[in-house]
Structure 1
């Protein structure tokens, strides 16, 4: 591991040694416009749309496009020195190390931490995410599907497939009991479904064939995970209620903990500073994309209702053994979300470890999990997981219900 760390910082040092490192003045000027970024994952290729642009200050911006979602890397996150390029994620502990082969081609590896990488190739001038091989009118899968992942195994779990189809183009996601599979974008090629996404933390690929009325396919998560999945159209299908999965154990009547904040000062709950306040305790991790989605939402809610008595406490369970490196990772996400509320470090990124911090709960089965506490200290609701913007109406409806619920709690005596 030390070898990888030294390699990364040496690479970064060499790149940042030039004051005009992100500039079109380089002899390796990149073509601006549409590119196709392709990850090589085990036995498949995972394509993602990429747009490269040049700002007025001559620096490059790289924008990943997943249908409606756009993730932009710019300014200090993009460093070019000679034929080498380093792109760091603004939120997650991930980065691209690449070599500029020509103005129209970049090759390299995407790293997630120092122990995990995926080879990539980026090529200019390709707009189509997936090739369309079948010129006939595609099958229509628009709507809501009951999906089963790892069917007939002990790992089996359910999800809602949400697909919006316009001709060959498909946008959508899968909502699980713990979150969602991000903004997916792809095509329906005859009877074949092809979807992909890259969000800075995950690279997902879904493929399936429509056989009679059933989608049968494979889901890849980077190079480390592969599983079968099936789906049938079912407009009435529902997952278990996410507000009934985690609950207070019999014999307990409150949440309590003592944990360090980002300055290592111990914060105790309950305490005087939270007396007569409505409190949302948000169990999360800086490495978790669904947590990022919820954090952005909670930041807005906090800004809206803090003056009326709302407090939010985000408790981060992190992957680094060093406390201050965990603080650095949390601050990165906190700044990205422009969050002003309190952040604490809960411990190791593990549902088992999170459950130890909250022994009064039956289980922590998902990051994120949010606990809603009224002015009297009573737990009024515990929500497992979070449906992000990719889920469309599920996200909108959750935000509306939560906003109304917070207003009810604030109006109580």
Structure 2
């Protein structure tokens, strides 16, 4: 019996020894699991078709994910536009695509195949968080999907006079579209800016266009009547909706008001004053020595504004080009939240993104009526951005409302030339 007991003890000791032996793996370790049970390595690089579940239906866009030395980067595709993202974070099966300068992000998880992402897009907006469900799948053939037997719609090439109707009433716009087969690209110009790079198709009697850049989610749909009239809907983010109609009119741009004649000066002598804090909390005033005898551009803007983001690199270039000739720019920011720390952080990101070297001052929140009251020298703020041009005596010479961005093609180039001509006139 003593021999039996010794034999059992020896067997137990041998078993304990094998548990801690690094030379052989336990049958329960991951290395012996069947290949199908192993987590699939993440391979994000390539083209993806992203979709936001807009209240108006699918809002699609392209995503180009690239492998980098430190991880991944991504760009959002809208027609010819390649919109940057600030970071792509990967944690296991979880993906976060960040748009820091818009305080926006896409958070998603890969499914078991590694070919589908499901999640949500969110962005800080005025008094709320905008959110829409998000899904992406590998490959980016057609922006909008349609049945194989679909018929290409009659061409929408050309210029269209459009009317939008929402809860605030009617507004005019001009649609400019180019169509090749089913593929349509273009934009709408409004009295104060544009709807950026729209892309989509015209199939089965229906026009569908979308744009997404991390902050702005636009979806346009319309049907073409037998009379040649487009009638449809416009959806922006998760809350805004308008109906619209449009008819061809090569002279449609004549319906838009003059963007140089929308805002008036309220001071009798056209003088201006301001006093707001910069990103370091230092008070900056027009009376400061550095502005004396300088021609100036006061840029009323918001980091959340698409047209402001289109304008920012243009202004940064003008500042570098003409500052040694007695020209200065000051950005007066009207932000969403009223949270000083958060809004200053957004201004810092905006400044870094565009290489801005002129002062950015936190002036208030984005309510247009309140902004006009805070400034005190103009009768209204019609649009963000608004550019107020001052001569060397700091009297208002001209005011331009809005900005037509690169999605408008020749209109963008024309406006840049007009702004630069105004600067040259002030410094000479």
Q: Structure 2 length as normaliser, TM-score?
A: 0.85
Corresponding position of 2:71: 59
The CA distance in 1 between the partners of 2:177 and 2:321, in whole Å, is: 33
Corresponding position of 1:109: 120
User: What are the residue-to-residue correspondences of 1:109-258 with 2, within 5 Å?
Assistant: 109-113=120-124, 115-133=129-147, 135-150=150-165, 154-211=168-225, 212-237=227-252, 238=254, 239-249=256-266, 251-258=268-275
CA apart distance, 1:264: 1.1
1:86 to 66, 80, 96: 96
User: What are the residue-to-residue correspondences of 1:338-349 with 2, within 5 Å?
Assistant: 338-349=355-366
Q: Does 1:72 align with 2:84?
A: yes
CA contact (8 A) 1:28 1:100 kept: no
The CA distance in 2 between the partners of 1:272 and 1:265, in whole Å, is: 15
- Note closer, same or farther for the CA distance 1:58–1:249 as it changes in structure 2 (3 Å cut): closer
- Note closer, same or farther for the CA distance 1:82–1:404 as it changes in structure 2 (3 Å cut): same
**What is the SS of the residue equivalent to 1:400?**
helix
What's the CA shift string for 1:172-213, capped at 9, x where partnerless? 111111211111011111431110010111111001111122
* Structure 2 residue ranges without an equivalent (≥5): 1-38
1:266 to 283, 292, 306: 283
The CA distance in 2 between the partners of 1:245 and 1:96, in whole Å, is: 37
CA contact (8 A) 2:64 2:76 kept: yes
What's the CA shift string for 1:332-359, capped at 9, x where partnerless? 0111011111111101121122111222
- Note closer, same or farther for the CA distance 1:83–1:154 as it changes in structure 2 (3 Å cut): closer
CA contact (8 A) 1:255 1:270 kept: no
The CA distance in 1 between the partners of 2:242 and 2:51, in whole Å, is: 21
**What is the SS of the residue equivalent to 1:115?**
strand
The CA distance in 2 between the partners of 1:370 and 1:31, in whole Å, is: 42
Structure number, greater radius of gyration: 2
CA apart distance, 1:87: 1.6
The CA distance in 2 between the partners of 1:248 and 1:222, in whole Å, is: 34
Q: Does 1:323 align with 2:333?
A: no
CA contact (8 A) 2:130 2:237 kept: no
**What is the SS of the residue equivalent to 1:128?**
coil
- Note closer, same or farther for the CA distance 1:42–1:160 as it changes in structure 2 (3 Å cut): same
Corresponding position of 1:371: 388
Task: Provide the aligned length of Structure 1 versus Structure 2.
Answer: 382
CA contact (8 A) 1:27 1:82 kept: no
The CA distance in 1 between the partners of 2:248 and 2:209, in whole Å, is: 17
CA contact (8 A) 2:269 2:395 kept: no
2:411 to 377, 391, 394: 394
CA apart distance, 1:242: 0.7
CA contact (8 A) 2:49 2:138 kept: yes
CA apart distance, 1:275: 1.7
CA apart distance, 1:30: 2.7
Corresponding position of 1:36: 49
Which one is further off, 190-199 or 278-287? 190-199
- Note closer, same or farther for the CA distance 1:115–1:375 as it changes in structure 2 (3 Å cut): same
* Structure 1 residue ranges without an equivalent (≥5): 1-25
The CA distance in 1 between the partners of 2:297 and 2:330, in whole Å, is: 6
CA apart distance, 1:325: 1.7
Q: Structure 1 length as normaliser, TM-score?
A: 0.88
**What is the SS of the residue equivalent to 2:341?**
helix
What's the CA shift string for 1:256-302, capped at 9, x where partnerless? 11111111111111443212211000001111111111111100111
Which one is further off, 313-322 or 389-398? 313-322
The CA distance in 1 between the partners of 2:219 and 2:152, in whole Å, is: 23
What's the CA shift string for 1:96-133, capped at 9, x where partnerless? 11111132111000111273211010000232101244
CA contact (8 A) 2:222 2:231 kept: yes
What's the CA shift string for 1:46-73, capped at 9, x where partnerless? 1111222213x16222221001111233
The CA distance in 2 between the partners of 1:241 and 1:270, in whole Å, is: 31
The CA distance in 2 between the partners of 1:64 and 1:127, in whole Å, is: 15
CA apart distance, 1:43: 4.6
The CA distance in 1 between the partners of 2:269 and 2:323, in whole Å, is: 28
The CA distance in 2 between the partners of 1:248 and 1:93, in whole Å, is: 33
CA apart distance, 1:154: 4.5
- Note closer, same or farther for the CA distance 1:89–1:374 as it changes in structure 2 (3 Å cut): same
CA contact (8 A) 1:90 1:336 kept: no
